[in-house]
A = this chain, B = another copy of it.
Amino acid sequence: MSAKNSFQPAWTEKPPKTGSYRSIFKWGGPAEFKHPSSAWYAMIKETFGMTDADFKKPQLEGNEKVEVKQAISLSERQISAFMDIVGKKNVATDDYSRVKYSHGKTIHEAMDLRHNIVRHVPDIVIHPRDKKDVRRIVDYCNAQKIPVYVFGGGSSVTFGLQTPRAGVTLVMTTHMNRLLSINEFNQTARVQPGMFGRDYEEALNQAPERFDTDLRYTGGHFPQSFEYSSVGGWVLTLGSGQASTYYGDAYDLVLSQEYVTPAGSFKTLDFPATATGPKVNDIMKGSEGAFGVLVEQTMKIFRYMPENTQRFAFMFHSWDEAVDASREIMQGEFGFPAIYRISDPEETEVGMKLFGIHGTPIDSLVNLRGFKPMERCLCIGTTEGEKGYARHVKEQITRICKQYRAMSLTGYATRLWEKTRYKEPYMREDLQDYGLIIDTVESGVTWDNLHRLHRGARAYIKKRPQTICMTHASHFYPQGTNLYFIFILRAKDLQDYRRFHDGLLDAILQNGGSISHHHGIGKLFGRLMEPHLGREQMDVLRVLKNHFDPHNIMNPGGQLGLDPP
């Protein structure tokens, strides 16, 4: 090995210091890391004109102890009223809690925290024990006009957790985090919204041991944030899991919900279908804490049969062919794959480096067979369900991919991808330690507009010099899919980045994409809601907001663009 290759960038390997800013913005488990592969490292140096020398000492790591300048504006009396409700130990007023529970994983927030900038904090943080606590808290806040924010897994990338009006933040993951019961007849699980995705899935997988069921179950929802997002957050922000093409989006997975709102508490009907007017269950989905607090939910669950999972991967000659084949697959009426993802040419190259395909015999074979770099497109996926179904869907996918001149890579590439499926976000910190930003923006799109949106958003991103832009589609429907843009760039400062990011969203809107396919709106995209939906439809959301929350105490300050003018 040459001296050059033996250099190892000084990626941070230490868990962040307790009480530090870094411990707040760092993704995932404190002691968990995933560093860029050596091929990625080489790519980054080349793209940004950097050398090994630039990767010797991480910058602006945010290791400082969190400090809050904002005074607590609630009175002693108000604070003790909350303590009376939930008990003293479930009310926190310390600086660290106030910052931790008001920040998500938006890159903008990480940039601020690295500079020890704290723009917003709640006055206090409350850990409600149950829905009765939530009812009493909301009643009190409504009477006293105290803003109420809700914190689940904390994985928001849309300023969903920001607390611009201070007030209180309710942390749902501390106590309200249990799987309450499994109904095997109905294949449903009654769950508290503060349960983390990983815990939820584990409990379902272990249902016979924990709930004395006959069968094992899965929730079918595996977003990249799976380990650090909450079951309630999935529904409130309309998330999608990596296997959504088969299992459905969070929207499809909720049978009923129970809410505490300033206008009252209620549990929606839990019929599998009912023709009783507009469905309140659906009206509440995606309300992002602006209508009330989700306190319980009944989720559809599925039989857990991992032994039936089939994997496949293909290389296409072009993006056009990958898209056409995918459309044929999704409209073929033979069932649906679970995971299904196609990468555009740039993501294919970058992804092969990331997943470790680069330099393997597969890589050589792909080159040999004439699949050209920056033209070829990777497709990976799985089929699940009953054994014969999984097999049949895979056979049909294979048939169609071959018809579109794709080459099978076997399930190997998919296995490589699976290893890192939840780990990729960890690279954020590594890159940012050296002044680089990796971030994502995503959009829903119909088939007939896919190429226009892809070209339009890419053109905007690539206009910026030295910018890597990877695109994939990963959630499929017969009528269309999503486009997920991942970009790596260097930004002078937050303002520079913000300008770029805002412009990208505008470019997506101008090219007919939706503002978000599954990240939600939060406060970051709120300004785009009215241009996107039009005044008449925003008025519908506003009238609902005003009904549930006439004093605008629920997640005020821009969520969903719903603040009264």
Contacts and interface: CB of A to CB of B under 8 A. Distances in A.
Interface of A: 183, 185-188, 237-240, 249, 251, 255, 261, 263-266, 268-280, 282-288, 300, 302-303, 305, 327, 331-335, 384-386, 388-389, 392, 395-396, 444-448, 475, 477-482, 514-521, 529, 532-537, 539-541, 543-544, 547-548, 560
A385 B276 contact: no
Nearest to A482: B273
Nearest to A185: B448
Given A335-B389, A448-B186, A479-B300, A278 B273 contact: no
A274 B284 CA distance: 15
Contacts of A185: 327, 446-448
Contacts of A543: 543-544, 547
A478 B255 CA distance: 11
A278 B282 contact: yes
Contact of A518 (B249, B275, B288, B478): B275
A446 B536 CA distance: 36
B275 A284 contact: no
Copies of this chain present? 2
Contacts of A183: 448
A477 B392 contact: no
A283 B281 CA distance: 10
A357 to B, nearest CB: 29
Given A274-B444, A278-B283, A280-B540, 9 more contacts: A186-B479, A272-B477, A275-B444, A276-B521, A278-B287, A280-B537, A303-B331, A335-B389, A540-B544
A183 B249 CA distance: 24
Contacts of A187: 331, 478-479
Given A276-B516, A276-B521, A271 B536 contact: no
A270 B333 contact: no
A481 B300 CA distance: 14
Most chain B CB inside 10 Å of its own CB: which residue of A276, A303, A332, A533? A276
A236 B95 CA distance: 52
Given A188-B479, A392-B389, A517 B446 contact: no
Contacts of A271: 444-446, 480, 514, 517
A232 to B, nearest CB: 15
A305 B332 CA distance: 11
Contacts of A389: 333-335, 392
Contact of A277 (B273, B286, B305, B395): B286
Contacts of A384: 333
Contact of A303 (B237, B333, B396): B333
Nearest to A520: B275
A402 to B, nearest CB: 16
Given A537-B266, A539-B263, A274 B517 contact: yes
Most chain B CB inside 10 Å of its own CB: which residue of A185, A286, A481? A185
A385 B330 CA distance: 12
A157 B199 CA distance: 47
A94 B331 CA distance: 49
Nearest to A267: B534
Contacts of A477: 272-273
A279 B517 CA distance: 12
30 contacts: A185-B327, A186-B447, A188-B446, A238-B273, A238-B275, A240-B275, A261-B536, A269-B514, A271-B517, A272-B478, A272-B481, A273-B444, A273-B477, A273-B518, A274-B515, A275-B518, A275-B521, A276-B529, A276-B533, A278-B284, A279-B285, A280-B533, A282-B283, A283-B540, A334-B385, A334-B386, A388-B392, A388-B395, A389-B392, A392-B392
Contacts of A238: 273-276
A274 B237 CA distance: 10
A384 B332 CA distance: 12
Contacts of A392: 388-389, 392
A121 to B, nearest CB: 25
Nearest to A335: B335
Contacts of A515: 274, 276
B544 A266 contact: no
Nearest to A271: B444
A277 B517 contact: no
A334 B479 contact: no
Contacts of A447: 185-186
Closest 8 pairs between A and B when the two form their complex, measured CB to CB: A238-B275, A272-B477, A334-B386, A271-B444, A266-B536, A333-B385, A274-B514, A185-B448
A275 B445 contact: no
Nearest to A330: B187
B539 A444 contact: no
A386 B274 CA distance: 29
A202 B236 CA distance: 40
Given A273-B477, A479-B188, A514-B269, A547 B536 contact: no
Nearest to A514: B274
